[in-house]
A = this chain, B = another copy of it.
Amino acid sequence: MEASRQNAARLLALDWGTTALRAWLLDEGGDALDHRHARLGVMHVADRDFSGALRGTCGDWLAAHPGLPAIACGMIGSRQGWIEAPYVACPAGFDALASACVAVDAGNGTTLRIVPGLRYEGDAAMPDVMRGEETQVFGAARAGQLAGVYVLPGTHSKWVFYAQGRIQSFRTYMTGELFACLRAHTILGRLMAADAPHAPDAFRRGWEAGLACGDDLLHRLFGVRTLALLDRLTPAEGPGYLSGLLIGAEVRSACGQRPPPRVTLIGDAELCERYREVLEARGSATTLAPADSARIGLHRIARAARLIAP
């Protein structure tokens, strides 16, 4: 990189999750001057040497910019991470997150601010938490946008309800992890092909069943086996059907009787495409968020925290 661009560096931004560390060197406007990706997620860092992991990934950036402000979101702020950044209660906006960042000395004169996660206690018997997704949502919101529904599909799929410039509530679904676990470790996986390409028709049959399943999910899951036993679902179709069933059940539960008119999807493009299909069948228009929503969100929170000029 040319020295002139490097000189524009104003912020080190880290999306530090369970499995991966993504790092960006940002200019004042939040554009990336450089970026890196390492398989140094919280669960991969040996002996909790987070300082060493950070130096190994971005040590040259920090050496070139002594005192560079640094901010991180994600599981790095969990009890298993570097330092615990306690959950902030919903509703919460930029300011609440910015003022609750927890600082940790990262060595060599670098102070790292860690963005807290969010807690939602709408139902006392069913509290919910997230860490990292709040930053992506704040990054995905268009400048000045004050309301929206955001869906972040994945291992633990999140539905985030944003209004009046604050995250009002959210709900987590265990969809992705349940899919992986059912496929790898239960009788359902035994009648599925190991490396089948996406089966669009089976996926559609699956989500139609999922949208219809009401309180019957435990029963419908066994149906994946029955359909295979009765030769109505081939081994190549099994994974698509199960994926559809679970995503359909998630969409039904999250949307209730009134699907939101518009949903913004944040995450892996292929997975977002599956959600798009189901959401649009239920009557919601969809938008795909920018790929680097976490980067944009970190920059916005850093500004609110006055780590860089507002």
Task: Spell out A's residues near B (CB within 8 Å).
Answer: 119, 125-129, 156, 171-175, 177-178, 181-182, 184-187, 205, 208-209, 212-223, 226-227, 229-230, 232, 246, 249-250, 252-254
Question: A128: which of B126, B172, B205, B226 is its contact (CB, 8 Å)?
Answer: B226
In the complex with contacts A175-B218, A178-B218, A127-B223 CB distance below 8 A: yes
Shortest distance from the beta carbon of A156 to any chain B beta carbon, whole Å: 6
B contact residues around A212 at 8 Å (CB):
125
Residues of B within 8 A of A217 (CB): 215, 217-218, 249, 253
Q: Which of B185, B226, B254 contacts A184 (CB 8 A)?
A: B185
Known: A128-B226, A172-B219. 4 other contacts (CB 8 A): A125-B205, A181-B185, A181-B186, A214-B214
Contact (Cβ within 8 A) A156 B222: yes
Docked CA distance A205–B126 (Å): 11
Selected A-B contacts with CB under 8 Å, 27 pairs: A125-B205, A125-B209, A126-B209, A126-B219, A127-B223, A127-B227, A129-B226, A156-B222, A172-B226, A173-B219, A173-B222, A174-B186, A174-B218, A175-B218, A177-B186, A178-B182, A178-B186, A181-B181, A181-B186, A185-B185, A214-B214, A214-B253, A215-B215, A215-B253, A216-B253, A217-B218, A218-B249
